[in-house]
Structure 1
Amino acid sequence: MLTAVYFGLAASSALVMGALAGVRWSPPKRVTGVLLAFASGALISALTFELFEEAFAMAGGWHAGLGLLAGAAAFVIADTLLDKYVSGRADPDAREVAASGARRGVGLALLAAVTLDGVPENVALGVSLVGGASLSLLAAIFFSNLPESLVGAVAMRNSGMSGRTVVSTWLACAVLLAAAVVLGRATAGGLSEDVLALALAFAGGAVLASLADTLMPEAFEHGRPLNAFATAGGFFLSFMLAA
């Protein structure tokens, strides 16, 4: 269990590092786009070889496939409900929106997205620890957390939030996601092989859906033309860590 604590702190530390950097520095969008592309490639490799392959070996293709699709569906449902909640709070009749309020909304939206994406990713990291340390998945989560918290912190700072408030907000998010790793490890330890395979595949599906919905569109929009190369580089690094 102590290993899960260490892995949770290591993966979530990127959120605090990104926030600390974001309250002092505004990075070019291309930099964050390339970082997100690198993280996307790393996550694709990690979920393939650390999550779905393990589930496939334990319970076979149909069982693993069902878990994968269920995980993706769960993410889509949760993400859709979050989008409706956020849009429902906006005033459709408002003719003017203060610039600071808009920027704060961007920062908080990124915080919500990181939390929504991060919970299944970190639970997956905890579940994967049942079979041994998953360095590739750890690296992939770290590199996805860093640019997202960096951009979110910049938006919050530009909205007028104090640096202390920004860092404290992302620190709370980091603690939550670190706890998700411990939770994943604790719940997976007593599962049967079939149920564990379903949990691994479910986590992989949720991570894959978050990639398609959040990371890769951002990388494509802001990271071109280096996003394709960065994705390949992230895949290769994660594959070598898993080998």
Structure 2
Amino acid sequence: MLLTILTIVVVSVALIAGAVWGVYGRIGRGVEGFILAAAGGALMVSALLELVDPATKQAGVWPALGMMMTGAAVFTVLDYLVDHVWKSGAGAGLLVAITLDGIPENLALGVSLIGAGPLEVAALAGSIFLSNLPEAAGGAKRMADSMGKTGTILLWAATAAILSGAAIAGNFLLSDVGEGPLALIRSFAGGAVIASLATEIFPKAFREDHLLAGIATALGLAAAVWLRSLSGG
């Protein structure tokens, strides 16, 4: 229980640390893009190997792939609503956008922690941390001009609290669910993570660092594979 809470809190704290970095520090576009690309590579392999692939063995290939596609479709619809219907430029809209973007990753993290050892979730937790840090820094930097430094940091802190609570609640509420349904939930979360990578992380990483984005992505993927190999996976 303590490991679960600590892992989720540490990952979510990256949002606050990133916001402080973006408001008070300096972040180069190349550095932000490189970190995002590395995190995206790690998240891609983690979503596949820790969430989708095990689900195909526990719940069957077609049910697992169907839930993966459902997760991707749900994220895509919500992402469209945030960008084009709810207009994420306003303060409330920004909170919705940030929260929806983080829900798939935090759901995946919370679910993957059920019955897992430290090394089995290290790659997923580490990659989410790396993606949260520059994402929060870049977002906070843009938001500070209209909302002020204090308001921006408070917004990101509130978002971190919401995402931490959701991940912890999901972890506890789903702890007694059978392996088959749990596998399908993992696959759904994996599909949502993959969709968020394609629509949010990789495009932004390439815009910020088009020269080294490919190398950074491969580096993040290699790191995730290495961490997973430590657990014998």
- For normalisation by structure 1, the TM-score amounts to 0.87
CA–CA distance in structure 1, aligned partners of residues 139 and 133 of structure 2 = 10
Identical aligned residues as a percent:
41
Is 1:224 the counterpart of 2:210? The answer is yes
Question: 1:106 Cα deviation (Å)?
Answer: 8.8
Is 1:49 the counterpart of 2:49? The answer is yes
From 127, 134, 141, give the equivalent of 1:147. 134
| Shift in alpha-carbon separation, 1:229–1:45, aligned structure 2, 3 A | same
Question: 1:65 Cα deviation (Å)?
Answer: 0.5
Is 1:236 the counterpart of 2:222? The answer is yes
CA–CA distance in structure 2, aligned partners of residues 108 and 234 of structure 1 = 33
CA–CA distance in structure 1, aligned partners of residues 176 and 159 of structure 2 = 27
Q: Compare 137-146 and 149-158 and name the one that shifted more.
A: 149-158
Question: 1:60 Cα deviation (Å)?
Answer: 2.0
1:52-63 equivalence runs, <5 A: 52-63=52-63
Question: 1:215 Cα deviation (Å)?
Answer: 0.4
Aligned to 1:95: none
From 203, 222, 237, give the equivalent of 2:189. 203
Does structure 2 retain, via aligned residues, the 8 Å contact 1:107–1:152?
no
Is 1:13 the counterpart of 2:48? The answer is no
Amino acid of the residue matched to residue 28 of structure 2? Answer: P
CA–CA distance in structure 2, aligned partners of residues 82 and 25 of structure 1 = 28
| Shift in alpha-carbon separation, 1:204–1:79, aligned structure 2, 3 A | same
Aligned to 1:71: 71
Question: What do the CA deviations read for 1:67-107 (whole angstroms, capped 9, x no partner)?
Answer: 101111111111122223234x9xxxxxxxxxxxxxxx398
| Shift in alpha-carbon separation, 1:152–1:106, aligned structure 2, 3 A | farther
Q: Structure 2: 5+ residue runs without aligned partners?
A: none
Larger Rg: 1
Q: Structure 1: 5+ residue runs without aligned partners?
A: 90-104
CA–CA distance in structure 2, aligned partners of residues 28 and 107 of structure 1 = 25
1:119-130 equivalence runs, <5 A: 119-130=103-114
Question: What do the CA deviations read for 1:191-223 (whole angstroms, capped 9, x no partner)?
Answer: 112101110100000000000110011111111
Question: 1:34 Cα deviation (Å)?
Answer: 1.2
Aligned to 2:38: 38
Question: 1:108 Cα deviation (Å)?
Answer: 7.5
CA–CA distance in structure 2, aligned partners of residues 109 and 32 of structure 1 = 23
Amino acid of the residue matched to residue 136 of structure 1? Answer: A
CA–CA distance in structure 1, aligned partners of residues 39 and 163 of structure 2 = 17
Amino acid of the residue matched to residue 123 of structure 2? Answer: S
Does structure 1 retain, via aligned residues, the 8 Å contact 2:72–2:193?
yes
1:92-241 equivalence runs, <5 A: 105=89, 111-132=95-116, 133=118, 134-159=121-146, 161-241=147-227
CA–CA distance in structure 2, aligned partners of residues 167 and 83 of structure 1 = 22
CA–CA distance in structure 1, aligned partners of residues 154 and 98 of structure 2 = 15
SS where residue 130 of structure 1 aligns? Answer: coil
Q: Give the number of aligned pairs.
A: 226
Aligned to 1:92: none
Question: What do the CA deviations read for 1:18-73 (whole angstroms, capped 9, x no partner)?
Answer: 11111112322222111111111010111111111221221221121011011111
CA–CA distance in structure 2, aligned partners of residues 188 and 137 of structure 1 = 19
Does structure 1 retain, via aligned residues, the 8 Å contact 2:82–2:93?
no
- For normalisation by structure 2, the TM-score amounts to 0.90
CA–CA distance in structure 1, aligned partners of residues 211 and 92 of structure 2 = 28
| Shift in alpha-carbon separation, 1:147–1:109, aligned structure 2, 3 A | farther
